[in-house]
Structure 1
């Protein structure tokens, strides 16, 4: 298959960016700072608490039934439909919708067709997740009824 002229090859873009960034002191310093911040965050108590495996004996609390958060949630549940109706019927909403539509047609749509946009998409796209290796702990225990 032949590539269309003007389209970007993500591998070629990555190689060009690597060639430019390899000798940059600013990028090297940024990477060092990023690595240091990442280590600091991953060693923090909050990060470990948020990312630890859940305890099988966890008790789930419905916040709607608590004395502190429950009334606030009830108030929000009561007010949000009225606020939504008022917003949908307001002049501000119709003006904001027109401004967004005009920006979308005149700014964002033409911008999405530029090479800079395509380059940004290829650079900012997340990497493919690595294949996870199965361990013995991941395998379910075989049933006695099933043949091996």
Structure 2
């Protein structure tokens, strides 16, 4: 027990020395000040407040197809889009755009997807696993271990 308390005291002493050194650093102080300003700016931004606000329980859903302002426009788009799509598929411009896109995918995006940067970006942008799955996975592994015993 005396060794454990001694090692904790040593760790605490090292931590205090590091804090003392970093507290006197102008670079670290400037970094902390900039970080605080950026944090305050982000938290006061409209986007941050919009993303973090609680949902309103009295939300009313309006079907824009039934409104006078947007209904006719949406109806017009519903009528025109199939004709535009058909014309695009049979046009030379559409065929050329398809070839360019296919070549771009083969020559640029496919090799790019094999780089470490792409893998890192994909890992960072992947959504977290829902809590239900994490709990179910842990529960399943525990029940399997219990059955094997």
Q: Quick one: distance in 1 between partners of 2:130 and 2:103?
A: 44
Structure ranking higher in helix proportion: 2
Cα pair 2:64 2:71 within 8 Å, conserved:
yes
Render the CA deviation track for 1:12-38: whole Å, top value 9, x for unaligned: xxxxxxxxxxxxx9xx97xx47971x5
Render the CA deviation track for 1:1-56: whole Å, top value 9, x for unaligned: xxxxxxxxxxxxxxxxxxxxxxxx9xx97xx47971x5324323454245422222
Structure with bigger RCO (C-alpha 8 Å, 6+ apart): 1
**RMSD of equivalent CA atoms:** 3.5
TM-score, structure 2 normalization: 0.50
Question: What does residue 58 of structure 1 align with?
Answer: 59
- Pair 65,92 (structure 1): closer, same or farther in 2 beyond 3 Å: same
- Pair 49,101 (structure 1): closer, same or farther in 2 beyond 3 Å: closer
Question: What does residue 119 of structure 2 align with?
Answer: 121
Which residues of structure 2 form unaligned runs of 5+? Answer: 1-26, 132-149
Question: Where does structure 1 differ by over 6 angstroms across 4 or more consecutive aligned residues?
Answer: none
Q: Quick one: distance in 2 between partners of 1:33 and 1:66?
A: 47
Q: Which of these two proteins has the greater Rg computed from alpha carbons?
A: 2
Correspondence list, 1:99-110, <5 A:
99-110=100-111
TM-score, structure 1 normalization: 0.50
Which residues of structure 1 form unaligned runs of 5+? Answer: 1-24, 133-148
- Pair 99,63 (structure 1): closer, same or farther in 2 beyond 3 Å: same
Count of aligned pairs: 100
